[in-house]
Amino acid sequence: MAAFADHLSRGKVEVFNELGIDIVIGRREGASFYDAYNDRKYLNCHCNGGVFNLGHRNPQILDALNRALYEDEIDVGNHHLISGWKAKLARRLAATTQDHCPGVVFSPSGSEAVEVALKTARVVTGRPEIISVHGAYHGHTGLAAMAGDARYHEPFGIDLPDFTHLPHNDLAAMENRISDATAAVILETIPATLGMAIPHEGYLARIKEICKERGALLILDEIQTGLGRSGKFWGYEYDEVVPDLVVTGKGLGGGIYPIAATLMTPKVHKFYDDEPFVQVSSYGGSDIGCTIGLAVMDIVESPGFLARVEELGDRFEQKLSCRGEIRRRGLFIGIKWPDEGAGILAAKACIDAGVFAVFANNDTSVLQFLPPLTITDSEADEIINIVNEALS
Cα of 250 vs its chain's centroid, Å:
6
Question: What pLDDT band is residue 92 in, cutting at 50, 70 and 90?
Answer: very high
- Between the alpha carbon of residue 41 and those of residues 33, 146, 166, 369, the distances in Å are 6, 38, 42, 18
The one-letter amino acid at 78: N
Name the residue among 253, 266, 262 with its Cα closest to residue 106.
Answer: 262
Does residue 65 carry a pLDDT above 90?
Answer: yes
Rounded to an integer, what distance in angstroms lies between the CA atom of residue 127 and that of residue 308?
Answer: 43
Rounded to an integer, what distance in angstroms lies between the CA atom of residue 67 and that of residue 170?
Answer: 49
CATH number corresponding to 61-300: 3.40.640.10
φ, ψ for residue 237, nearest 5 deg: -65, -20
Does residue 102 carry a pLDDT above 90?
Answer: yes
Name the residue among 220, 262, 267 with its Cα closest to residue 241.
Answer: 220
Q: What is the pLDDT of residues 350-373, one digit of tens each?
A: 999 999 999 999 999 999 999 999
Task: Give the pLDDT of residue 286.
Answer: 95
Q: What is the pLDDT of residues 254-310, one digit of tens each?
A: 999 999 999 999 999 999 999 999 999 999 999 999 999 999 999 999 999 999 999
Rounded to an integer, what distance in angstroms lies between the CA atom of residue 261 and that of residue 83?
Answer: 15
Radius of gyration of the chain (CA): 21
Does residue 93 carry a pLDDT above 80?
Answer: yes
For residue 155, what is the DSSP state? G
Strand spans (E) along 75-216: 103-107, 129-133, 163-166, 182-188
Question: What pLDDT band is residue 64 in, cutting at 50, 70 and 90?
Answer: very high
Q: Mean pLDDT, to the nearest integer, of 146-154?
A: 94
Rounded to an integer, what distance in angstroms lies between the CA atom of residue 362 and that of residue 352?
Answer: 23
Residue by residue, DSSP assigns 114-150 as: HHHHHHHHHHHHT--EEEEETT----SSHHHHHHS-G
What does the domain layout of the chain look like in residue ranges?
1-39, 61-300
Task: Give the pLDDT of residue 31.
Answer: 98
CB atoms within 10 A of CB 252: 30
The CA-to-CA distance between both ends of the chain, in Å, stands at 32
Q: Mean pLDDT, to the nearest integer, of 59-71?
A: 97
Are 259 and 281 a contacting pair, CB within 8 Å?
no
Residue 354: is it exposed, middle or buried by C-beta count within 10 angstroms (0-12/13-18/19+)? middle
Task: Give the pLDDT of residue 371.
Answer: 98
Rounded to an integer, what distance in angstroms lies between the CA atom of residue 235 and that of residue 187?
Answer: 12
Does residue 62 carry a pLDDT above 90?
Answer: yes
Q: What is the pLDDT of residues 303-352, one digit of tens each?
A: 999 999 999 999 999 999 777 899 999 999 999 999 999 999 999 999 99
Task: Give the pLDDT of residue 370.
Answer: 97
Q: What is the pLDDT of residues 126-145, one digit of tens each?
A: 999 999 999 999 999 999 99
Task: Give the pLDDT of residue 323.
Answer: 73
Q: Mean pLDDT, to the nearest integer, of 192-216?
A: 96
Q: Mean pLDDT, to the nearest integer, of 99-109?
A: 97
Q: What is the pTM of this model?
A: 0.96
